[in-house]
């Protein structure tokens, strides 16, 4: 029997879910599936939590019935990766949302900015996610990406705390400073 070394065997989202169903991965495990590999996640700090909770409230208040706010839940981008925060079209039946359901993916980067930009952002572009926001907490700014093309985005806008950004599929503008801790 051949030996499998790290990096040679990629998990699918079904494999990952079966591991959770079997109790191999539990809710207390701070991991996520990225490009077929189980990757440890940084602990969630107070600043990260503040930003995610504020966005959740704003999205819930200002999106219509056809949009669902999904916080730290999977969106299947392909057979090997799942982000955990998204603004989605409401599904007609129970299922794990797919890339085509995503209107916006938001990453809150306290200590993970480099990883989010170098690893996650190309995966989102490749999957066709129309918009990605990265809240860069140490730099106190929002980076908004749009128009995916292969493994990158053709549009990038940086918003400072005093600037506003419009929530997708609404006319509501949010001041970046109101989301940042």
Could you give all domains of the chain from N- to C-terminal order, each with its CATH number?
44-179 (3.90.1570.10)
Task: Using pLDDT thresholds of 50, 70 and 90, give the confidence band for residue 84.
Answer: low
- Total-model pTM: 0.85
Confidence at residue 5, expressed as pLDDT on a 0 to 100 scale: 54
* Mean of pLDDT values over 83-107: 87
Confidence at residue 1, expressed as pLDDT on a 0 to 100 scale: 45
Residue 82 predicted with pLDDT over 80: no
Instruction: Output the average pLDDT for the chain.
Output: 87
Residue 4 predicted with pLDDT over 70: no
For 58, phi then psi, to 5°, come to -65, -45
* Mean of pLDDT values over 22-44: 83
Start-to-end CA span in the chain (Å)? 53
For residue 138, give the nearest of 110, 114, 115, 166 by alpha carbon: 110
Residue 145 predicted with pLDDT over 90: yes
């Amino acid at each position: 029997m051949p030996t499998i070394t790290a990096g040679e065997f990629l998990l699918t989202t079904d494999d990952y879910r079966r591991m959770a169903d079997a109790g191999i991965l539990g809710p207390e495990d701070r991991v996520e599936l990225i490009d077929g590999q189980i990757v440890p996640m940084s602990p969630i700090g107070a600043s990260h939590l503040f930003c995610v909770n504020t966005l959740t409230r704003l999205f819930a208040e200002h999106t219509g019935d056809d949009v669902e706010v999904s916080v730290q839940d999977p969106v299947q981008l392909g057979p090997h990766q799942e982000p955990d925060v998204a603004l989605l079209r409401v599904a007609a039946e129970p299922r794990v949302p797919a890339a085509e359901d995503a209107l916006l993916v938001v990453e809150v980067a306290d200590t993970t900015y480099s990883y989010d930009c170098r690893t996650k952002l190309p995966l989102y572009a490749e999957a066709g996610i129309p918009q990605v926001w990265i809240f860069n907490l140490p730099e106190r700014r929002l980076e908004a990406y749009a128009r995916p093309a292969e493994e990158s985005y053709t549009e990038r806008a940086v918003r400072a705390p005093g600037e506003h950004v419009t929530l997708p599929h609404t006319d509501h503008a949010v001041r970046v400073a109101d989301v940042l801790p």
